[in-house]
Amino acid sequence: GGSSSSSSVAAKHPGIRASGGGVGGSGGLPGRGGRPVVHLKPELPRQISLDLGHPWIYSNEIANITDLTVHEAGTVVDVADANGDGFGVGVLNRQASIVVRRMGGLEAGADVTQELLRRRLREALAVRSRAFPTGDHYRAVNGEQDGLPGIFVDRFGSAAVITFESVGSSRLELLVQEELTRWMGKLSTLAVHRMVSKKEKWAQEGAEFTTDIVKGEESRISVSEQPCIFEIDAHHGVAGNWNFAVEGLRRDLIDCLPVAGSTVLDAWTHVGQWGTRCAKRGAAEVVLLEESLGFAKLCRDNVVRNEVESQCTVLHRGSVLEELKSMATSGIRFNCVSLNVRVKYERYFKQREGQFGRWFKPSLKGYATAVMLGAQVTSRGGYLAIVFYLPIRDEHWALSLVKDGLEQASRTGSVVSHTIGVSEHSALASSAMDDAWTPILVCVRLH
């Protein structure tokens, strides 16, 4: 990838130099070399979080927000606190709720060069190779945690999926592709999801991202998880991507449950992960329920691929909730029920700023209803497992939602597992990121 690609990335990213020294030791002087400076407001409610390394600065925390309109998304900026002292370096998107994503470990005025970014990518890839010495399926680059805001890379053997969650980060696509190829060799498939909503709002049911298969002929990607193998389809967008953190939690839970010989319901099955794993572990009968036709087709293929079709029935229905209602009414019960409730992003008047754009956040509306219906189709002594998506500081809501749902179903139960999806696949850039949303898995044994 010689200097031509380096200079083209530099041209796309104002403030990134094609070459030169690494981190400049300028004592943290904001605005050195003419770089734009973002000034924080005094006495911010989140000041302690920012001091502790929270990488996101929201639009309502910036004093000179109107001055930043002239700078395009992806511009590298210096950050200064209310006293004018250096507060790091970040990547700007004036139109987003997260106006600045700070790049950890850099003082204001530091050089941000091609070499620096390449080094960070190489370090991230090397760290994951050491963390997963026996496997080649894992999250290889984890955005802010690796000092590469908005850039996520998932590796699936010889295939990879890159997700750019911010408009500015997608300008580094060429650089990321080069480093991936250097590290992995020839890629069988490379899929790229790019945020194209200028305001970075997750408000269009997936249409805020575009997806391209940039290497390979096939959009289907194989996920190896012994003894199972699954296929996902990159054309299903970010919603269809494999979530290593969630799937790790669910796989570990199944290993603790008595699924052999049992009946299992896998609601919102996605590509059949829960049900197929249970079937492989000796479940007698498995029903996989899905409302997306694309996911249901993949699920059917995965059931056949794993040679468990004699135990499995795949149901495609217009509404999972309606199907659960009719199962409950018909008196159908299962020993083990999984609810992998589909995340919906909705407008919420109190959500001034946040991870999913101004006014938008994942909805919590359907959870209690899903738990109620799930409990109604779980037998006495059976297990009900639910995946929630919540901000870390509010993860206790998961237990409240379970309690509400069980009360509505007139059932009682005891919690056997309560785990959070912050793992080696998805650690946070800072312990102060208590407003970051994360998957939470709760399992209850019903009485």
Q: Establish whether the linkage from the previous residue to 227 is cis, with ω within 30° of 0.
A: yes
CA distances from 123 to 76, 149, 155 (A): 21, 15, 15
Q: Which residue has the tokens 């139109």?
A: 95
pLDDT of residue 26: 32
Going by pLDDT thresholds of 50, 70 and 90, the confidence category of residue 259 is very high
Q: Which two tokens stand for residue 214?
A: 């940039």
Mean pLDDT of 203-214: 82
Q: Is the pLDDT of residue 6 over 90?
A: no
Q: Measured between alpha carbons, how far is 300 from 276 in angstroms, rounded to an integer?
A: 10
Distance CA 336, CA 418 (A): 16
User: pLDDT tens across 143-154, in order?
Assistant: 999 999 999 999
Six-digit token string for 341: 């409730």
Q: Three-state DSSP class for 191?
A: strand
Structure tokens at 110: 């530091």
Q: Taking 50 as the threshold, does the pLDDT of residue 2 lie above it?
A: no
What band does 394 get if pLDDT is binned at 50, 70 and 90?
confident
Q: Say what the pLDDT of residue 431 is.
A: 80
> Regarding predicted confidence, which is higher, 286 or 32?
286
pLDDT of 8 higher than 60:
no
pLDDT tens for residues 304-326?
999 999 999 999 999 999 999 99
For residue 9, name the pLDDT band (cuts at 50, 70, 90): low
pLDDT in tens, 212-241: 999 999 999 999 998 999 999 999 999 899
pLDDT grade, residue 256 (50/70/90)?
very high
**Whole-number average pLDDT of the chain:** 89
> Could you give the CA distance from residue 10 to residue 316 in angstroms, rounded to a whole number?
48
Q: What single-letter DSSP state applies at residue 68?
A: G
Length of the chain: 447
Mean pLDDT value across residues 4-9: 50
Confidence tier at 346 by pLDDT (50, 70, 90): low
pTM score > 0.85 for this model?
Answer: yes
